[in-house]
Structure formats: C-alpha cells, structure tokens
Structure 1
Amino acid sequence: MPRSRIRPAGALAAALLAVLPGLSACREASSDPVAAQAAAPIKCANGWSAAGEPPPPVDVLTSLPLFWPLGADMDDVMNGRAPLPWQQAAMGPCYAAIALDTLSPGPGVPPEDLVAGPLGGRERLAVIQPRGLSPADNVALDAWVRAGGRLLLMLDPALTGEYDLPLGDPRRPVEIALIPPVVARWGMAIRFDETQAATVRTVRLGDAVLPLALAGQIAITDPAAADCTLLAEGAAARCRVGEGQVTLIADAALFEHPELAGEGGTTLRAVLEESLE
C-alpha cells in the first residue's frame, strides 16, 4: 500500500474529460442525476417501482461525502436544508441510503449478535472507503455476510477526488484505504501499482460498466477461505461467503466524480445493483 502520493489533479481532470465520450456509448454521462431521472422512467433491478413509496434501504458506512455536500454549512446539513449530495440523487430511484457510523452493537454485546447490532434485519450494505473498522466491526461484518447479507465493499488505495478540507477535519475522506482484516479472512488482498498512469478506464462488472481511476488490484491469497472470482480485470472480486455475498472493488472513483455516474446516475446504480441484488 502506498505511504504517500502526489495527487495528479490536472492529469485526472483531463482523463475524466477524455473518458466521457466512451462512457456515453454505454450510458451518457451527466453531472445532474436528478434532471436526467425526470426525463426517463427508471427501471430498478430490485423490482422497486412503486411511485410515492420509499425505495428499499441500503445501509452505507463511508468517509466520502455521501450524506453532506462539500461546501455546505454544517448547520444546514444538521437541519436538512443542505442540497442532496449527488451520490444519493443517483441512488435514490432504486435505493434509500441509510447512514451508519458503526457495524457492531454496543459495549457488552457480542459483535456477532446481529439482532442487537445495527445490521439486524438488513439485507444490503455498502461500505465505501470507511474510516476504519474496529475489531468488533470486522466480526459483525463477517457474521452478517455469512448469515446471508449482500455487501458492496469499496476500498480505494488512492482517492482521486479533490477535498478542500484541512487534515484532521472529520469531513475529510480517508485518502488511502485502511484494509480491514476481514478481507484477508475471506482470502483476499489488495495491491497497488504506484507507477500506473493517472487516467480513467472502464471495465465490465457483470452487466455493469465500472469506471476506474488509479485502482488497486485484488489478489486471491487463500482460495479455501471463500469461493471468490476476480472481475473487472482484477479490480474487483465476487465471493460467496457462507450464505451471503461480497463484492469487493479496489476503487471508489464512481462515488467521487459525478462525471462517472452516468446519465441520471445509471452507471452508479448499475454497479450497486450488480453488487447487491
């Protein structure tokens, strides 16, 4: 894992502009998911289509600004006056994002007690560039997946977004992913090539298009630990763990750059649906 790096802001910005025509061939890119959603009906892989009712929930644990827009006044965020982050607007037609700050129950409760913990009764979970998982979180996550949960785990070795926040600010995302021990428990590791070009490329993740920027590479280190298959040219893996499923992606650019989300958020939603359904 890299200890330090130089953020190639100019090169990445140029790469984003260059890749947009390629993305358009699959799903035209747009930085305004809300406007694009109004122009065409949304079909969700999870079957949700009931107008006026909330879509099914997906719990989200992340250090990225999915629950507060960058630059918004904290008082506006706390009082619900801040604009909806573009990531939630992209998810919204098919998933209702529910913020989590922990995966494990409180002190004195065994972390594998799923009934008492925040994951009790939940079917879908997205852990996207988290601040770090405690030992109890690792145990709870493993138990939840083995009991049938469906997990999207995005761990980016080198974030590519620009965050004008001072070091130590709790709103600043974790720039270099902290790989939780549960990844090794499932027989995988994430590696990073610091010499790779600062560019954007697109790969296939099942039926979805997955944009990548300075992505890591996943290695299966223990084939006996779980039934894992490498996807997306090695930037992702899908594992059957007990009764559940894990989709690990060694990149989070899709949730950093609205240009990559697709028209009306279709690219972002397709990756979620490919991972969680």
Structure 2
Amino acid sequence: MPRKRSRLAWLIGLVALGLGVVAWAFGGAGRPRGELGLFTTLPIYWAETAGISEMLGSETQAGWVRTAVERRFELLPLDTLADEEAAIAEDLAALDHLLLAQPRPLSPYENVALDKWVRAGGRALVFADPMLTVESRFPVGDRRRPQDVVLLSPILARWGLEMRYDAAQDADERMIATDMAPLPVRMAGTLHPMREHSAAQDNCWIAYDRLFARCSIGKGQVTVIADAAVLEPATGDRLDARKDALSWLIESALSEAR
C-alpha cells in the first residue's frame, strides 16, 4: 500500500506541475494580479540599504526579482506571521498566497500560525537555503544582513520534511534539469520525507535531485526549494535563466487560489 500511495502522490504532483507549466507558458497575460505576501530577509522588495534615508533615495532601486514577481502578483511585505497565542496574523489571514524567501527564524507562534494558514487552504512557495551564497554589504552578525543559514526545521518537520546539507559538495553554480525551466543552484540542500512521518510519503512529491518538494497539507499546498540561488542578482544569460525558472516556479506553485 505505501508504494501505491507514493506512486499516486508522484502522479498527482506531475499533473499539478503540468498545469503550472501551461500557466507559465502563457505568462499570466491578461489576468488580474492577485496579492502575494512576502516574508523574507533578502533585498527583494527594497534594495539592500544602510537605513531609511538611503532606502528612500531615488538612486536605490529594487532588483529584478520584485519586477518579475509583480508581473503576476502585487507584493505585500509582512513583518510577522502570527499575533499573540499563535493566531494567524491579520495581514496573512487575508491572503491566499505567500512567498517565504530565506526568512528569519520563525517563532513558535509563527510556526503554528503558518501551519494553520496552509491547512486552511493557503499556498506557499518557500525558498530555504542551508548555505546562502548571495553577497551582502553587511558583515556576519549585522541584523540587516540576509539570513545566511535558513532555520526552518520546525515548520518543515510539521509538513513531514527534513532538509539535509552536504558540506563537501562542489561550490560552483550548476543547473538542475526540471520538466520546464532549468533551475540554477549553488551549495543547495536536499529534501527528504521524515521516516516517522508517513503522511509525507503519501502527500509530498520530491523531485529534481531532491531540491524540490511539493506537499499537500490539509486544504493547502507548499512548494519548497532547498536553495535560493535563483533569486540572486545576475546579468546576461544567467539572468534570463533565473527569470525563466522563477516565473515557472511562481506559476506552478501559486497558480490556483484558495
């Protein structure tokens, strides 16, 4: 029975991915933009700046990721995912879609609230990088610096996933083949179903060198990428590859509303 269920989860994941590919191919043209919550330490919505005055300066511009995402969604930055006593934060409760990109560590309340939100029908795209490779102007320990090592084990465990990291892997960027757009990765993790969490084997589809996991959680869905190199600044062909990969991930992970 477990083998049959695992095969069913694989087939369901493949069909869902195919639907996302169709949406990606049309690029979302002509559709009204939905709202997408953004919870991140990366300089996606605002450029990396030393303070408010620099942030408001005309010379400071958001990077390519915000521009690419806002073709499909209106981005709404979130400061927290939970109110007191693990209630879902009001801003998150009003949303159907969420992008977590190398977020800060979640509080116990936030872990519970995020899990509740997904199980109620929310759809989340999560970039969780075990060894962030993007450069920062701020030194290690500075609170303005992006989260170097993602700390999402508690919420991943709630969803039946475990992330592993091989420190001996090649440090160079490489491309992972997918069913649509190649995905650039560097010093990535791998995703595995937790042995003591049998539901993960039934409800999660893990693919592409274990870099990618898509799990049905209650009425909702989470897509986890064990790397964030696709969100890094780039130019030329490397930038084009990142734009294609991100567009595909957004459409396939977030194309259906709750």
Q: TM-score, normalised by structure 1?
A: 0.74
- Deviation of the 1:273 alpha carbon: 1.4
1:270 aligns with 2:248: yes
Kindly indicate whether the alpha-carbon contact (under 8 Å) linking 1:255 and 1:261 is maintained by their aligned counterparts in 2.
no
- Deviation of the 1:199 alpha carbon: 1.9
1:103 corresponds to which residue?
81
Q: How does 1:91-240 map to 2 (within 5 A)?
A: 91-105=69-83, 107=84, 110-112=85-87, 114=88, 117-221=90-194, 222-225=197-200, 227-240=203-216
**144-153 vs 195-204, greater mean Cα deviation:** 195-204
- Summarize deviations over 1:19-56 as a string: whole Å, max 9, x none: xxxxxxxxxxxxxxxxxxxxxxx9765x4526xx7x22
Does the residue aligned with 2:93 lie in a helix, a strand or coil?
coil
Equivalent of residue 257 in structure 1, options 212, 220, 233: 233
Q: In proportion to residue count, which structure has more helix?
A: 2
- Deviation of the 1:205 alpha carbon: 4.5
2:30 corresponds to which residue?
49
Kindly indicate whether the alpha-carbon contact (under 8 Å) linking 1:161 and 1:253 is maintained by their aligned counterparts in 2.
yes
Q: Counterparts of 1:145 and 1:125 in 2: how far apart (Å)?
A: 10
Question: Runs of at least 4 residues of structure 1 off by over 6 A?
Answer: none
Q: TM-score, normalised by structure 2?
A: 0.79
Q: Counterparts of 2:193 and 2:177 in 1: how far apart (Å)?
A: 19
Distance 1:223 1:211, change over 3 A: farther
Structure 1 gap segments, 5+ residues each: 1-41
- Summarize deviations over 1:203-242 as a string: whole Å, max 9, x none: 2455343211111011111232561111221011110000
Task: Indicate the percent of aligned positions where both proteins have the same amino acid.
Answer: 36
- Summarize deviations over 1:43-73 as a string: whole Å, max 9, x none: 765x4526xx7x2221111111112223576
Kindly indicate whether the alpha-carbon contact (under 8 Å) linking 1:57 and 1:98 is maintained by their aligned counterparts in 2.
yes
Amino acid of the residue matched to residue 84 of structure 1? A
- Deviation of the 1:202 alpha carbon: 2.1
Q: How does 1:15-26 map to 2 (within 5 A)?
A: none
RMSD of aligned alpha carbons: 2.5
- Summarize deviations over 1:88-145 as a string: whole Å, max 9, x none: 112221122211111112x3xx424x4x532112111011111110011101110010
- Deviation of the 1:271 alpha carbon: 1.6
Amino acid of the residue matched to residue 64 of structure 2? W
Kindly indicate whether the alpha-carbon contact (under 8 Å) linking 1:151 and 1:247 is maintained by their aligned counterparts in 2.
yes
Structure 2 gap segments, 5+ residues each: 1-23
Q: Counterparts of 1:223 and 1:258 in 2: how far apart (Å)?
A: 40
